[in-house]
Every structure is written in structure tokens, then in C-alpha cells.
Structure 1
Amino acid sequence: MSAALRRLWAVVVKELRQLRRDRLTYAMIVGIPAMQLLLFGYAINLDVRHLPAAVVDQAQTRNARELVAELAQSQVFDFRYRLTTPAGIDRLLKEGRISAALVIPADFEHRLAEPDRPAVQMVVDGSDQVVQQAARQVGALPVRELLAGRAVSPPPAQVEIASYYNPQRLAPLNTVPGLVGVILTMTMVMFTAIALVRERERGNLEFLITTPLSPLELTLGKVLPFVAIGLLQTTLVLLLGYFVFRVPVRGALPDLYAAALLFIVACLALGVLISTLASTQFQAMQAAIFTFLPQILLSGFMFPFEGMPRIAQWLAELFPLTHFIRLVRGIVLRGAGLGDLWPELAALAAFSAVALAAAVLRFHKRLD
């Protein structure tokens, strides 16, 4: 082996040993491909199943019950709520407890005898594009032929689809509210993690340690400016969404900014926690991306949440983005209030408290 090859081999061995000692980077090298493979191959499923739904059976006939049973067997909708009148549909949709409602009118039997008249109505949450696609599948079902035990092709339009909150089925109304959470996740977590690690690399952290600041005060002082930046980003996305894509804000702005503020705190707490685990800015950026990927893939922003396996849904419930997307879509598109969406608020508050406490304890340990 020539001297040049020996020198080259020495550098390669040195880099491999350094990577082996760098446990966080080594975990990223193995973890990111493994996570992407599992998410795309196992958790991501474009087939919509088990959407929560309600049924309003005003006919109370045998054919009506058989229709509900036939639609339930398709596994697209789970009819978890039984209502006597359509009055309760709006409240369940606004609170996010259902994605659709099947309304069987009192004159259902007469409608079955009229081929040109829709037999039933499906009310869907138009703020979710996935639900609209599932409703179109149900709308294509041959209701009369299902009950008669035969099929015709092509079937006549026998299910009337009523899309709440997005009757024109505009794609920006589904994507723009969710983009608020995606942008805040990407910027807040990464900016905070990198900013704190940069202070350590430049030696400024040692200077701050000599001050009377406690770990909690130091942590809060470093992240509070990012709260203002996050609120500014929220305002910018909402303004662009309104003036460029005509996305209205149907709910109260104070409710929306309160939800955004709590989500920003959750993202900053996660960023601070990452900064206590990373030694370099490169590691902090890698770790931020590592947390960002599963959030955007499992939160319901890109892929149908109900189509994922149960274990993937449980994992998604641990992420703040999952709950904020439900909050922002509920407030912006459905006009819901914070009281209607309090479980999502509670989940964000719990995540923020746990992540911030872990970050402060970890930061205190590193100071020692």
C-alpha cells in the first residue's frame, strides 16, 4: 500500500471512530432510514377506514337499518353516535367528534321508489379533504340495489353529499390552516435548538452561568423572543392565506392566537430539550429534523389519520402537531371555540409541561 493510500485510510478510520463515539449522530444515521421505512411501509396508509360518524334515522324501518348495516360493513365510517334529529350534527362536527353524518329522512321508503331522487343524505366535514374523498366513495354506492341484493352499473346518484365548511371543496382551505402548524414546528424547534447550542459552542454559556440566573430563568430568557417570532409567523401565514387563497377565519381570533401560543410553547420546549442533548449545531439540526419527520407524517396533515394502524395513532397522539392541526382546523374552518376543543388544549399543555421540565432538569445537570 502506497503512502498516499495509508494516509487516506488513516483519515477514513479516524472519521469512523469519531462517528462511533458520537452517539447522537450514529443514532441518526441508523434511526432516520429505519424510521422512514417503518412510517412509509407500515404506518402510512392512503385507504381511509373507520372515520367517526353519526346516523340520524328518522325512518326507523327495516330498510333503513339494513342500509346502515351495509354502509358500516364497508368500514369507511364507524357510526358511533345515534341521533334522533339532525340538530345535533353541527355540534358534533364542530367539536371534531365526528367526520360525517348519515341522514335517513322520514320518507325514506317513498324515496326508494323514486329513482331520480336521492334516498339519503351524507353530511361531511369539508375541512378535511380525506373525509370528502371518503364521502364520494359512499355517494357512489347504489343504495336501492344494495337493499335489493343486486347491483347496477353505473349506479344512479342516490346519496346526496352536503359538505359543511368547504362546499366548493377548495384544496387551500384544507392545507393552509395545517401549514401554520407545520411551519411553526419546523422553525421553532430548529431555531431554538440551534440557538442554544450555538451559545455553548461560542463559550457564552459559561458567562451566563456566572450570573445569578437560575436554569429556569436562563431557559425562559433564551426562548421568550422566539414566542414573538412564532406569533409573527402565525399572523403572516393567516394573512397570506386570506388574501391569496381566500381562506377565512370563522372562529374567534383570540382563540386562534391562544392555541398558537400554547403550540409555540410546546415547540420551544421541545427545541430546548434537544439543545440539552446535542453537543453541536449539526447534531441539533439533525435531531430537530428527526422529530419533525414523524410529526408531519403522522399528524394527519399529509395522510389520513384514521387510515393508520392503531399503534401509529397512539404514537401520533404524543406529538404536539397532531393536536394543533385539529385545533387550527376547528377554529379557522369550523368556527369552533377553545371550549369545544379542550382535549387538544389539554394535550398541548401536558406536552409543554413535561418537555419543559425535562429540559430544565437536563440543563441543570449539564451545568453541574
Structure 2
Amino acid sequence: MRKILNIYKLGIKEIYSLLRDPVLMGLIFFTFTIAIYSVAHGVQTELNNASIAIVDEDRSSLSSRISGAFLPPYFKKPDMIELSEVDPGMDAGRYTFVLDIPPDFEADVLAGRQPQIQISVDATAMTTAGNGTVYISSIVQAEVTKFLGRSSGEVALPVDVQIRSKYNPNLDSSWFLAMMQIINNLTILAIILAGAAVIREREHGTLEHLLVMPVTSGEIMLAKVWANGLVIVLSAVLSLQIVVQGVLDIPIHGSMWLFAFGSAIYLFAVTAMGITLATLATSMPQFGLLSIPVFVVMNLLSGGITPLESMPQALQDIVQLLPSTHYIKFAQAVLYRGAGLEIVWPQLLATAGIGLAFFVFALFRFRAALASAR
């Protein structure tokens, strides 16, 4: 009971210390409010107002139908240009797509000769280029099919494909980006706050005060873990309820309590990682430089931005040792698909096991740092 009381009181001290730090409190507020809103509205992966030009060398009824099919909000009004203007226009960045309809296109279509339309794409805008090419191909195919149906009576397609998008029926990228931004920011803040707590003790000289108190290094570290973890979990839950559900009007399908429980397990590992980095650094700037590559690599390779299946097999095996890999699977299953504990327990168990290993190593490093401070 004495150890539990020590951990509780030291944790309360950590929370008071954090509340009195305007910089860190401002960082927490910005990270879970403005940063979430700006990313959800400012970053778009779907096609929106893409610039397109059309070279109509056929000037037929069919080519006019195709030219008139590119409409907002996916495309801007097409610019009708000559063939000699294609390269200068794309070099200057005025057009993302250029559609070249060849001469005698309509006549070749009616004769069944399968003519080709060239689509030139500015692939520097990678996401827009990939999505836009699919949209353009679909639009051209649809207009040609309608034209042939009008000319020859009816065109029977061999397959009727019905697309059903689950969990995000409008394919709105803000639904994905808002919640993934909370998950990524949760990782960053956990490392920063836990590490900053240790660095702050050292810079303010209060670490020496702790050393003369009847507390162990394990109690000191557990207090920092639960206090900073509690602040981050509460901030993430409030951000989901107020910013995501309230302001952005994005539905959350799963249990908020299950998400908070899984986040607490994950933060047990990540805050321990932050304390480990703080024992390696001697100042706050040094800690910041040391932590940047850690959470950047964790976010990029955890499967939240790019699918794990697209990575080399060796890298897929390595990232299984990161707690963020299992946590992102858990968070996406709960928040996006409404999964229950019976589905996500393997991810929670893996996160807890990796977190325990990180905590043991962090405790070893923290004890060594306290011994050197005596």
C-alpha cells in the first residue's frame, strides 16, 4: 500500500507540474484540436478540382460528349488546347491531365477498330495522378458505351459490377485522416511528455530531491508513466468526441471505452520509450533531436500511412516488434469498424507484451541515470 500511495502522490505531482507548464499545455491543446481539424480539411487524397486540358483532333459528336463529361467537383472546366501546347502546359504545371483524342476517333469506334486515347499525367502529384487516371478512364469508357448504345440500339455488358464501400461510404479522406492524426499525435506526445518530465526534473534540480525521498526508481518511473498517460488518453478521448464527432461530424463506430483501454496499454510502452530516450539525452534540445527519428519511423512503418502488405517481408517482420504496429491495427478496428474485445485482444496482448519489455529496459536505464546523479 505504501508503494501504491507513493506512485499515486508522485503522479499527482507530475500532473501539477505539467499543468504549470504553459508550453506543454499549449502543445497538447494544439495537437488534439487545431492540428486535427487542419489536417482533416487541408489534406485530401481524393480527386478534387484537378486541372485538365483536352486536345480534340477529331472534333466529332463523340469527342464533344467526352469533353463535356469532365465536371466539378472532380475536375475543373477543361481547357481546349492544340497538340503543340501539351508539353509547355505540363512543364509549366498548368495541367495535371491532358487528354488527346486522335483524328477519326468516332469513325474508328463505330467501325469497331478500337482506337486509342492518350492520357498524359503529371505524376509529381502522385495521389491525384493515380486517382485521376482511374476517373478519366471510367468517364471515357462510360461516354463511349452510351454513344454506342445510342447508335446501335443497346450494348450489353457481360458483367454488372456493384461497388459497396463499407465504413466510409462516400470515400471521404477526412474520415480517415482525422482519426489517424489523433493516433499519430498520441504517439508523439507520449514520447515528448514522458521524456520532458525526466529532463525537467534534471534541469530544475528536483531529481536530487527525489533521490533523498523514501521512494524507489520503479515508483518514480511508474508515476511518470501513469500521470502522462492519463493526460494523453483523456485528451485523445475528448478530441474524438469534441473535434471529430462534434466539429467534423465524423461517426465513430466502436466503443470509446475500449479505445481508451487499448490506448492506456499502448501508452505504457511509449512513455517508457520516452523515458529511455530522456536517459540518453542531457538536455531538452538533445532529447527533441533524438526523439524525432523514433516517432517518425514508428508512424511511417506501423501501417497507418501505408499498408504493411506493401512493405518487404523482412521489414514486415521487424516492425512487429514495434508497439505502434499492433496499436494501429487495434485502433482502426475499433474506431472504423466497431470491433469488440473478442476481435482485438491479440493486438492488445501483443502491445502489452512489447510494452512490458520496453518498460523493463527503460527501468534499467532510469536506475542507471539515477545512480549517476547521486
**Do they superpose with TM above 0.5?**
yes
Based on CA coordinates, which of the two structures has the bigger radius of gyration? 2
The match for 1:208 among 200, 210, 215 is 210
Confirm whether residue 279 of structure 1 aligns to residue 297 of structure 2.
no
**CA offsets per residue over residues 244-296 of structure 1, 9 Å max, x none?**
22222212222111111112222211111111222221221122112111111
Aligned-residue RMSD, C-alpha:
2.6
Aligned to 2:198: 196
Confirm whether residue 166 of structure 1 aligns to residue 168 of structure 2.
yes
Work out whether residues 181 and 321 of structure 1, in 8 Å CA contact, stay in contact via their aligned partners in 2: no
**CA offsets per residue over residues 28-77 of structure 1, 9 Å max, x none?**
xxxxxxxxxxxxxxxxxxxxxxxxxxxxxxxxxxxxxxxxxxxxxxxxxx
Aligned to 1:322: 325
Partner Cα distance (1:355, 1:183) in 2? 20
Aligned to 1:246: 249
Aligned to 2:269: 266
Confirm whether residue 338 of structure 1 aligns to residue 341 of structure 2.
yes
Gaps of 5+ in 1: 1-128, 143-154
Q: Which amino acid aligns with 1:294?
A: V
Q: How far 1:158 sits from its partner (Å)?
A: 4.3
Q: How far 1:216 sits from its partner (Å)?
A: 0.5
Aligned to 1:353: 356
Partner Cα distance (1:245, 1:156) in 2? 42
Confirm whether residue 255 of structure 1 aligns to residue 286 of structure 2.
no
Work out whether residues 301 and 325 of structure 1, in 8 Å CA contact, stay in contact via their aligned partners in 2: yes
Aligned to 1:73: none
Q: Which amino acid aligns with 2:277?
A: I
Work out whether residues 250 and 334 of structure 1, in 8 Å CA contact, stay in contact via their aligned partners in 2: yes
Partner Cα distance (2:369, 2:320) in 1? 30
Q: Please give the secondary structure, in 2, of the residue aligned with 1:163.
A: coil
Aligned to 1:291: 294
Work out whether residues 299 and 324 of structure 2, in 8 Å CA contact, stay in contact via their aligned partners in 1: yes
Partner Cα distance (2:250, 2:325) in 1? 21
Gaps of 5+ in 2: 1-126, 142-156
TM-score in terms of structure 2 length: 0.55
Higher strand share: 1
Partner Cα distance (1:189, 1:361) in 2? 18
Q: Please give the secondary structure, in 2, of the residue aligned with 1:199.
A: helix
The match for 1:232 among 231, 234, 251 is 234
TM-score in terms of structure 1 length: 0.56
Q: Please give the secondary structure, in 2, of the residue aligned with 1:242.
A: helix
Residues 360 and 247 (structure 1), Cα distance of their counterparts in 2 relative to 1, 3 Å cut:
same
Work out whether residues 230 and 264 of structure 2, in 8 Å CA contact, stay in contact via their aligned partners in 1: no
**Which structure 1 residue ranges, 4+ long, deviate > 6 Å from structure 2?**
none
Q: Please give the secondary structure, in 1, of the residue aligned with 2:244.
A: helix
**CA offsets per residue over residues 142-201 of structure 1, 9 Å max, x none?**
9xxxxxxxxxxxx88643322221222111222222222201111110121122022113
Q: Would you say how many aligned residue pairs link Structure 1 and Structure 2? A: 222
Work out whether residues 266 and 349 of structure 1, in 8 Å CA contact, stay in contact via their aligned partners in 2: yes
Partner Cα distance (2:168, 2:158) in 1? 24
Q: Which amino acid aligns with 1:264?
A: L
**CA offsets per residue over residues 307-356 of structure 1, 9 Å max, x none?**
11112222322222222221111111111012201221112101210111
Q: How far 1:305 sits from its partner (Å)?
A: 2.3
